[in-house]
Structure 1
Amino acid sequence: MAASNIVPIEPPGIFLKVELEERGWSQRDLAFILGQTEQQLNTLLSGKRGITPDMARLLGDAFDVHPQFFLNLQAQYDLQNAKEPDPAVRTRAHLQALFPIREMIRRGWIQDGEASLLELQMNRFSEAANDREFTQIAFAAKKTHYDETPSHQMAWVYRVRQLSREMSVTEFSNEALKNALPKLRSLMVDPELIAEVPAILAECGVRFVIVEVLPGAKIDGVCTWLDDNSPVIGMSTLYDRVDNFWFVLRHEIEHILQGDGKQTIGIIDHLSGEGLSAGEAESDIERIANDAAADFCVSKQKMDSFYLRKNPYFSERDVIGFAALMGVHPGIVVGQLQRRMKRHDYLRKYQVPIRKYLVTSTMADGWGHSVRAEL
């Protein structure tokens, strides 16, 4: 290793000795000026005692120099002689800047340990190509912002991918997935039947994973591909409601049918329900997926007809009757009416929770339970 070119910084007391010589003062003279004993001053001049803020003010008056000058001398000397920091500090800072490491440890996605172990785990978790390069996988995700993908949302996508690799499904068939849509549609009458969804998707070669979002993340679902023939649907059930589930699921299925997300990074659209931002621009890809999802839940033509006939007075009886006619749970009709009416409180009792039916029938991570998965 080449010798360092850094010149060692002398203790501030050495500077004081040089200044005394320049002025023709003795140590006793300076002690007199400062109002201190020679013994007190000796420890300062020998470097055994540092310059405190009080002493800096005294020396400033004595030598007619700003006190900060002496504090700077002391700070530079102290910094030079400070212990070398643990290299792990820089590594942990680098990792935390990329991903919410602490929260990931709490959730059991990675294990706490030495910095080198954390870095190795994160390289594997994030599918990194090498030690300092974290890849961005291609995915089509439903979330709030178009202009960025925050780290806690990317971490969520990586977790979906990680868990999906633990699953075994049949070979993917686009035709089989299309043919499964009527069977999936028949389950919409009863929330408990949602438990059958993961198995139906697996028969088509689609992996289905449920992962709780990290704090602050706003993401409903994701369509991602492990390779060109291995699609994955990840859902967060952020809005744990029957209408939201079916809309998001059908939306992600359409992404798969269209082959979205194989090559493009961050094909993103709005949240459903209360998170839907009226007036935001939609890409053609997202518009296709949204239209497919809405029509799957309730035929747009029939929904338009019902709305025009009953608007502005929608009785509970009317809603239940129309839902029965459409062969869906009333909560699905309620969800569409809420968006049209911009009244998210309307008949909310029918928007029943569904997560409890999913966590026992598919790979599910979160809500107090962590899945062990290989990195």
Structure 2
Amino acid sequence: MSKLISAKKAVTPELAISLEEVFEVPAEKFLTLQRNLDLAKARIIVRPNPTRALRAKIFADIPVVEMIKRGWINVEDVRDIEAIETSVSNFFGTGSFDQVNSLPHAAKKTDADMPASKAQIAWLYRVRQIATDMLMPAYSEERTKASLVKLKSFLSAPEEARHVPRLLAECGIRLVIVEGLKSSKIDGACLWLDERSPVIGMTLRFDRMDNFWFVLRHELEHVLQRHGMSEPMLDIEIGTEYSTTTEEKLANAAAADFCAPQAKIDSFIARKAPLFPERDFLGLAKILGVHPCLVAGQIQFKTGRYELFRGHLAKIRDHVLPSAIVDGWGDIAPVGVA
């Protein structure tokens, strides 16, 4: 009993029952007292640690480790919370870390029902960082409209995409290709540094010719319509059921018709379904003057039969990256370098 009184011995369930028999007090009461004592002792030993809470908050919301690996923020020790807080605040251009929480509302998403995630906003800020350092003539809407004919001529082969960055630069449009962060599902974005400086950001998350051209033309339509001037247009899973806004429907229609005239595709599907003879498919691509991959992509999307014409899907990333401003796939774009 003396050990119990001096707290040298804890009240166990068995001891609580014995005490119940002696003192005629419910055993649960003794166990509750022991639990409260243990908790009080723990609070004395374990002091509140604001750093622990801040660390949990940072790592739960922001892909800090991935941003460090990608060279977006410079932190030597991931355990240095103060350094991480400062680096993250500097990256997002906020006066304090607490202001980072309001950033998800700083972009207009394809899926307007959900605010952008911190990973999506981080990607968008990286695009802006890189674009700000790019020297470019003022944007010309006239040149951009005229460039669509030239861009259309590039649809015949994957390697022709290497000309895209230069052609857009001549129009005053900055093209920035930044590999997406994990689970961000970003396809592209349209934003403006000022009213004369549009920026197109792309992730190339699908290394496919049809996806590249669809996303590029989608973002170009945003530029031509001057979408994204008040807040960036952040396109997540372009072409899906999430694309319900007027701006997205307009951009999707322009992109689809650019890749392959929709009336021709719809007519082909109506006449050739469900067999879709390959000879007829290749004949349609030849008539349209585009690579079969672009026709295949449209047919797959419209029919939901993604097993069709898979042998004609073409990769494009290796053709685009060498001539573009790129951040990702092992490369870090120079930012702030004189």
Q: What is the CA distance between 1:145 and its match in structure 2?
A: 6.8
Q: What is the CA distance between 1:191 and its match in structure 2?
A: 0.3
Distance 2:136 2:198 in 1: 10
Distance 1:365 1:373 in 2: 10
| Higher mean C-alpha deviation, range 320-329 or range 282-291 | 320-329
Deviations 1:228-284 (A, max 9, x none): 332211111122111111111100000011111122466656534xxx34xx67221
Q: Name which of 68, 75, 81 aligns with 2:32.
A: 68
Q: In structure 1, what is the equivalent of residue 309 of structure 2? A: 347
Distance 2:10 2:255 in 1: 70
Q: Do the aligned partners of residues 60 and 193 (structure 1) sit closer, same or farther apart at CA in structure 2, a change above 3 Å counting?
A: same
Deviations 1:72-96 (A, max 9, x none): 12321331243553x4323323323
Q: In structure 1, what is the equivalent of residue 220 of structure 2? A: 253
Q: In structure 1, what is the equivalent of residue 160 of structure 2? A: 193
Q: Does 1:80 find its partner at 2:80?
A: no
8 Å CA contact retained: 2:191, 2:233:
no
8 Å CA contact retained: 1:139, 1:262:
no
TM-score (norm 2): 0.84
Q: In structure 1, what is the equivalent of residue 280 of structure 2? A: 318
Q: Which amino acid aligns with 1:366?
A: G
1:244-323 equivalences under 5 Å are: 244-264=211-231, 270-272=237-239, 276-277=240-241, 282-323=244-285
Distance 1:189 1:146 in 2: 38
SS at match of 2:244: coil
Residues matched between the structures, number = 325
Q: Which amino acid aligns with 1:208?
A: L
Distance 1:351 1:52 in 2: 70
Distance 2:272 2:237 in 1: 28
Deviations 1:85-124 (A, max 9, x none): 3x43233233234322223223332233422221122112
Q: Does 1:177 find its partner at 2:135?
A: no
Q: Which amino acid aligns with 2:70?
A: R
8 Å CA contact retained: 2:159, 2:316:
yes
SS at match of 2:177: strand
Q: Which amino acid aligns with 1:116?
A: E
8 Å CA contact retained: 2:11, 2:30:
no
Distance 2:335 2:51 in 1: 25
Q: In structure 1, what is the equivalent of residue 85 of structure 2? A: 119
Q: In structure 2, what is the equivalent of residue 95 of structure 1? A: 58
Distance 1:137 1:231 in 2: 20
Q: Which amino acid aligns with 1:284?
A: T
SS at match of 1:167: coil
- Higher radius of gyration, 1 or 2: 1
Q: What is the CA distance between 1:299 and its match in structure 2?
A: 2.0
8 Å CA contact retained: 1:59, 1:67:
yes
Q: In structure 1, what is the equivalent of residue 73 of structure 2? A: 110
Distance 2:60 2:165 in 1: 35
Distance 2:246 2:269 in 1: 26
Q: What stretches of structure 2 of length at least 5 have no aligned partner?
A: none
SS at match of 2:184: coil
Q: What stretches of structure 1 of length at least 5 have no aligned partner?
A: 1-29, 32-40
Q: Which amino acid aligns with 2:250?
A: I
SS at match of 1:234: strand
SS at match of 2:200: strand
Q: Which amino acid aligns with 1:67?
A: L
Q: Do the aligned partners of residues 149 and 97 (structure 1) sit closer, same or farther apart at CA in structure 2, a change above 3 Å counting?
A: same
8 Å CA contact retained: 2:227, 2:233:
no
Q: What is the CA distance between 1:227 and its match in structure 2?
A: 2.7
8 Å CA contact retained: 2:285, 2:295:
yes
Q: In structure 2, what is the equivalent of residue 36 of structure 1? A: none
Identity among equivalent positions (%) equals 37
Distance 2:174 2:186 in 1: 18
Aligned-residue RMSD, C-alpha: 2.8
Q: What is the CA distance between 1:179 and its match in structure 2?
A: 1.5
Q: Which amino acid aligns with 2:160?
A: L
8 Å CA contact retained: 1:140, 1:267:
yes
Q: Does 1:331 find its partner at 2:287?
A: no
Q: Does 1:233 find its partner at 2:195?
A: no
Distance 2:60 2:197 in 1: 31
| Higher mean C-alpha deviation, range 164-173 or range 255-264 | 164-173
